[in-house]
Homo-oligomer: A and B are copies of this chain.
């Protein structure tokens, strides 16, 4: 049963073209191969990026392609990286990504975690000296695809205020957990530990929407709201910080969001031997980003037969779905369901690419002297 659904509001006045996702993946992969990334890795990066677009997380989709491309072009991301397993102790391991592409490093990490989970019941792999890896949920879904539970954490460049402080100290450090189900969609929780990811502020800027009070504070600790362009600029200039999940102070649990972000960083950054906090760099900069990831896989069958687990999860989901709906809510959602419906919609109808992103992609393809292969789907 197909249901048309778009997780992300599309700007009504902006022109979109719908692009077939396979064509888009092919083009993005070609772009990375042209930049000397080996075919297999280029395919992985393209898959992660275009999957974000399919899922309606366009902030992490081809709109962010320039970031990775420029990282490679400036030499700040190493396409000739030699990623190595530097520690390997039964159920756990540590990979040094040698400043290579985050998507490649995290995929290797999750593949190793899955293999370990199949042997030891659980596998945990840390990755150090990596780069921005796109959507965290992608790697958790690698585990659910094998019938395992997947957990993905990463640190990221500092944008978020630690509770009771001013300025950005923490990354938006997301937590992504995937739970396999018998029939799709798998449960997929993928959330920044901040009240919103920076991508949401970018989206609001694009849509011309107002930022509500409670998302961002300025350098003096005052809440700022309203014009998204102004607020986004202030964040980019380090003159504003996104609040942790739970908001400012402790009254509504801001110390919980702040604490979760701190913990994600301690495991992914400190324990992995990577950078942490304000030391985590941007993809395009004059020093390696030093991003650290955590990839965990857990074997359901170590605890109960898979079928039993599936039917128990199904019961729980149905119980939630049959709860009374809040009068102001549109619908009761299971984590990952919106992204899944968007993916189904966009697989069928094409990915809506805004005029500006489309033109920039064309320009990039020109610069790299690649053949333009995209046909608009109308």
Interface residues of A, Cβ cutoff 8 Å to B: 87, 89-92, 94, 119-122, 124, 126, 149, 161-167, 169, 175, 177, 179, 187, 189, 191, 195-196, 212, 214-215, 220-221, 245-249, 251-253, 255-257, 259-260, 262-263, 265-267, 270-273, 276-278, 298-300, 302-304, 309, 312-313, 316, 319-320, 323-333, 335
Contacts and interface: CB of A to CB of B under 8 A. Distances in A.
B249 A245 contact: no
Contact of A92 (B120, B162, B246): B120
A89 B325 contact: no
* Chain multiplicity (copies): 2
Nearest to A151: B263
Nearest to A222: B327
Nearest to A169: B323
Contacts of A249: 326, 328-329
A257 B312 CA distance: 22
A221 B300 CA distance: 36
B167 A324 contact: yes
A93 B2 CA distance: 41
Across the A-B interface, the 5 shortest Cβ-Cβ residue pairs: A92-B121, A164-B329, A165-B323, A91-B120, A91-B91
Residue from A119, A120, A167, A332 with most neighbouring chain B CB atoms (10 Å): A120
Nearest to A189: B259
A89 B300 CA distance: 12
Nearest to A301: B89
Given A270-B313, A303-B92, A259 B335 contact: yes
Given A249-B328, A255-B333, A271-B303, 16 more contacts: A122-B124, A163-B332, A164-B329, A164-B331, A166-B324, A179-B263, A187-B262, A191-B259, A196-B253, A245-B253, A248-B326, A253-B257, A259-B335, A262-B335, A271-B309, A273-B303
